[in-house]
Amino acid sequence: MMSEYTLQFSSSNKDNGNFKLLELPTDLCKVVESALEGSGCPSFVIKGQPGEDAVLCTTDKTYTVRSVVLSNSMVVVTPAPASETGDANVSVEIRDQISEVLELLPTVPKLHKLESLLRGHEYDEGDIDDMYDEDEGRPTKRRRYTYEDISNNMQASEDELMRGLRERRILTLNGELRPVTPAHLTAILEILLNTLVSLSLPHDAAPTDRLVDILVQDHDMRRDVATQVMSWFGSVADDAWEMDVEAVVKEVGLGILRLHKDDPIAEGEFLQQWRKAVGDTFESSVSLQLLLGNYLSEKSMMQDLVQLKYFPASALPIEPAARFSDLFLTRDRWKADDLTPFLADIAVDSKERDKLLLKHARALTDAEGVWYTARVKYNA
């Protein structure tokens, strides 16, 4: 026999609109269930400045918070006070009516504001204490940004933010976040490569302290700069640095490619310069595959040469519609293999990437393979 309850509306309107239903995806449900079974407590944070769409962040993932209207309204009820009914077990009070739920969808961390916040804070060779004006001899008014300042402004989980700072090569110096200039970073890596080769040190177990001492004493480098750069491009354990060869080779290649944003370079010449820069020991790791999403290749009709031009995905808009607009203004059609690397940073996975392609592009197939063209016409 089904239980029967007496419904009554709350005598106060103070609760109206105060209740929100949040639908948890499967992975978050498991986190909550695990916490209930154990002693841990999951951490969920809602982030977003006025004018921004809200996101929910866990310790390692970011979710877009989206409102979904329900076809049937629901009500929130609680047991009615015993003093009002005399029997709190059979009477419930309607506290609020709900016509929507909040849905969580995995999304990429929104770290694009890092560049604008830290612009003008770059760390370059020769910087010692640039918080002081060399001409006037007094402190500058440049604001310092700490990790806490950035964390409060970024719509990203802690793990994603830490990874984003690492991938964007942002140093922490005296508590301040400072991006290292690409040219200085390339110079540091080339010094490391040359040092490994000249001293016959193993790149998978190089003595960390010895390398850092050489950078400090022979190249006037700050110790904290040297150690952080080495941690970006490998792992350090028990005074041994295991270099990530592909990461180092890639960064050196990007350093050369950045010089050709407006002036394309022949592919063969570029590869030759790249191999020379990394040296004989590591030239076998040189591959254009490492630089996908950072260049455009065009075939020169006059010389029958393939030319490369620096064109990084990181400089494109973060919003998908604007990203596709820029891409199709650059080229009216793209090969599938050339286009997809420029979507990696705005799609959580290949499934979401394919949805973006379906929404913003048309697929055409010919003898050369799959091509994508714009669904709408863009005017330059």
pLDDT digit string (tens) for 10-46?
Answer: 666 666 667 888 999 999 998 888 888 876 778 889 9
Query: What is the predicted pLDDT for the residue at 134?
Result: 44
Query: What per-residue confidence (pLDDT) applies to 88?
Result: 46
Tell me the mean pLDDT in the region 301-309.
83
Q: How confident is the model at residue 132 (pLDDT cuts 50, 70, 90)?
A: very low
Comparing 76-80, 118-122, 234-238, the range with the smallest average pLDDT is 76-80
pLDDT recorded at residue 142: 67
pLDDT computed for residue 38 by the predictor: 76
Distance CA 166, CA 161 (A): 9
Q: What is the mean pLDDT of the chain?
A: 88
- The better pLDDT of the pair 48, 138 is held by 48
Q: Which two tokens stand for residue 214?
A: 């050489």
CA dihedral for 304, 306, 307, 312, sign (positive or negative): positive
Phi, psi of 234 (to 5 degrees): 155, -170
What end-to-end distance do the CA atoms of the chain give, in Å?
71
Least confident among 77-91, 260-274, 325-339: 77-91
C-alpha span between 80 and 231 (Å, rounded): 60
Average pLDDT for residues 284-301, to the nearest whole number?
Answer: 93
Indicate whether 373 pLDDT > 90.
Answer: yes
pLDDT of residue 172: 96
Q: What is the pLDDT of residue 200?
A: 94
Is the predicted pLDDT of residue 268 greater than 90, yes or no? yes
Strands (E) located in the chain: 6-9, 21-23, 45-47, 55-57, 62-79, 91-107, 170-173, 176-179, 206-207, 234-237, 240-243, 265-266, 295-300, 305-310, 333-335, 361-366, 369-374
Q: Rounded to two decimals, what is the model's pTM?
A: 0.84
Judged against a pLDDT cut of 50, whether residue 214 lies above it is answered with yes
User: What does the alpha-carbon distance between residue 255 and residue 257 come to, in Å, rounded to a whole number?
Assistant: 6
Q: Is the pLDDT of residue 52 over 50?
A: yes
pLDDT digits (tens, 9 = 90+) for 167-208: 999 999 999 999 999 999 999 999 999 999 999 999 999 999
Beta carbons of 283 and 273 less than 8 angstroms apart: no
d(CA 355, CA 351): 6
Q: Which two tokens mark 45?
A: 């944070």
The pLDDT assigned to 223 comes to 95
**With 90 as the cut, is the pLDDT of residue 242 above it?**
yes
Domains and CATH numbers, the chain: 6-107 (2.60.40), 316-380 (1.10.10)
pLDDT digits (tens, 9 = 90+) for 340-355: 999 999 999 999 999 9
In this prediction, what percent of the chain has a pLDDT beyond 70? 88
* Whole-number pLDDT of residue 14: 63
Nearest in space to 28 (alpha carbons), one of 4, 11, 44: 44
